[in-house]
Amino acid sequence: MKNYLFLSFLLFSVSSFAQLTTGLNFGIVKTNSGNVRGYQSNGVYTYMGIPYATAKRFETAQKPKPWTENRSTMTWGPVAPLLSPTTSVQDETEWVFDHDFGYTNEDCLVLNVWTNGINDGKKRPVMFWIHGGGFTAGSSQELPSYHGENLAKGGDVVVVSINHRLNILGFLDLSAYGEKYKYSANNSVLDMRLALEWVRDNIANFGGDPNNVTIFGQSGGGAKVNTLMAMPTAKGLFHKAINQSGAFRGNMLGQEVTRQISAEVLKELGISTNNLDDIQTVPFEKLSAAGNKAIRTVSEKLRSEGRPVAGFGLSWGPSLDGDLLPYDMLSQEALQLSKNIPLMIGTTITEFMPSIGLNMLNASNESVRSYLDKTYPGKTDKYLEYAKKAWPTHKRPSDLMDIDMRFRPGAVYQANVKSAVTGGAPVYMYLFDWQSPVLDGKYKSVHCMEIAFAFNTIQRTRNMTGGTKEAQKLADKVNLAWVNFAKTGNPNHKGLPKWPAYTEQNTSTMHFDNVCTVKPQLDKELIELVTGQ
């Protein structure tokens, strides 16, 4: 009996504490630039802040300078500077999201790797995560849900996440002023391609398969997935794609507009084209302010000419340069380019909820109707009819005003046009319906909610998910769907009902909730009413 009790105590002790292995010569992996040294946590080898490239401001990134010592890669690397540095936060919302803003440096081209094995000759699928924040903010460490340890461990995949140039640093179009800045309009996208090339050239030593790479991202990260799918020189660097809440209708800007913006930036800074290199030494705060003013100026000019910019308005982001990005993201040319790339795409049911900003969680039917009257003038009755028809189980009146109509229409459109490509790879559509119990359910299925379920980081994100048994049970299902998709291009597994590929005719959609179900599209009438399409 005593031996049994001792053994039980020993097993409890071993399982109750995180297992950490370190050493000055532990976890050494060779890369093309030199050896890196990481650590092992819970059986997962972890490497953080590995340089995959280096770049001078507005210039095309190059491979990093090689190093000869075993490089320590045990902490997060630098993140891209933000247009508006975070100096204050809203207490409650910040508690829910629990950001880690990191430290900034313009030379921020680093990546992180999590893997179950190194130098072992195994070919694990690679899941290449691209962070959100639009094209202007965010980082690979920004949210606790992004941490790759659980995803790598449970799925036996290699997880890679990256930082890259953002905002004015990644997208100021100086291409009109010489070869040196030829690709400056899309340097951010070129950074991502370079990170994928690093994976191609180095990931085998981390136990990964360079011929089985899935790119996935959420919000702005999903838009970046779409951008890479439309980039001819990225073809072959990845083989599957997942777009989480990042599908948008609308076209990329052309050089006519991007060069107007750059001209306004130079004008604001007082830099002539003869002294263009002076822009490399302008303090970032001054550069950022000039960029913000230039965008406002060009936006006003376009509006005065009767050419308002669609979508979320004029902002930093990829543009059509006729070279790196010759096609709009969802053009027929881009769809043919990514024809053989299986796609999983979806959104959460409530995303950016107006009820939070307006303090209308428990608003009355009358208050919700008033909001809808202002938001969809002349359409309120039909909106409520279609919304209740699509989501009859919603309980609070505010649930109907919180139904996402920002990302969902774009996801449906992309799924329709992608699945219509003759002989193309399959598309799988999901809708994340699960509602968080945190703060009396105030945050419902807010933007970013599903990420923790895909990464299986429920306990790291208790502030958002509640860390409940129900959340963990669903995460096990969602996580395995993501892993199976990365492995085979098909997310199906025994824990889910049969999930058919999506087409515009069958519209099969996986609804992730405490009870997962597959249904045809429920909100077709609502989307057509709101978008007019």
- pLDDT band for 310, please (50, 70, 90 cuts): low
Provide the pLDDT for residue 16: 55
Q: Determine which helix (DSSP H) or strand (DSSP E) holds 296, and give its type and residue range.
A: helix 284-304
Confidence at 14, pLDDT banded by 50, 70, 90: very low
Q: Is the dihedral of CA 275, 280, 283, 288 positive or negative?
A: positive
239 assigned to active site? no
Round to whole Å and give the CA distance between 208 and 197.
Answer: 14
Distances (CA, A) of 255 to 25, 59, 183, 431: 50, 18, 12, 36
Give 31-84 pLDDT, tens digit per residue: 999 999 999 999 999 999 999 999 999 999 999 999 999 999 999 999 999 987
Of the candidates 158, 268, 163, 247, which has an alpha carbon nearest to the alpha carbon of residue 205?
158
pLDDT at res. 62? 95
Catalytic (active site) residue 447: yes
If you search the block for the tokens 């902490």, which residue do you land on? 75
d(CA 317, CA 466): 34
Q: What is the DSSP letter of 219?
A: T
Domain 20-86+96-244, CATH homologous superfamily name and number: Alpha/Beta hydrolase fold, catalytic domain (3.40.50.1820)
Contact assessment for residue 86 and residue 309, using Cβ atoms and an 8 Å cutoff: no
Catalytic annotation, pick one of 140, 145, 175, 219: 219
Mark whether 72 is an active-site residue. Answer: no
Segments of the chain assigned to CATH 3.40.50.1820: 20-86+96-244, 348-531
The single residue of 447, 450, 508, 511 carrying the catalytic annotation is 447
Note the pLDDT tens digit of each residue in 369-428: 999 999 999 999 999 999 999 999 888 999 999 999 999 999 999 999 999 999 999 999
Tokens encoding 210: 């360079």
Encode pLDDT of 468-525 as tens digits: 999 999 999 999 999 999 999 999 999 999 999 999 999 999 999 999 999 999 999 9
In this predicted structure, what is the pLDDT of residue 311? Answer: 54
Question: Which of the four CATH numbers 3.40.50.300, 3.40.50.1820, 3.20.20.80, 2.170.190.11 does domain 348-531 have?
Answer: 3.40.50.1820
Predicted pLDDT of residue 313: 65
Structure confidence at residue 89 (pLDDT) = 86
341: nearest Cα among 236, 487, 452: 236
Catalytic residue among 142, 149, 264, 351: 351
The C-alpha atoms of residue 189 and residue 320 are separated, in whole angstroms, by 12
**Phi, psi (rounded to 5 degrees) for 350:** -120, -20
d(CA 227, CA 324): 10
**Mind listing the pLDDT tens digit for each residue in 104-157?**
999 999 999 999 999 999 999 999 999 999 999 999 999 999 999 999 999 999
Give the three-state DSSP class for 490. coil
DSSP state of 116: S
Which residues have a Cβ under 8 Å from the Cβ of 404 and sit 6 or more positions away? 347, 348, 349, 350, 351, 352
pTM of the model: 0.95
Q: Where is average pLDDT lowest: 1-5, 142-146, 204-208, 218-222?
A: 1-5
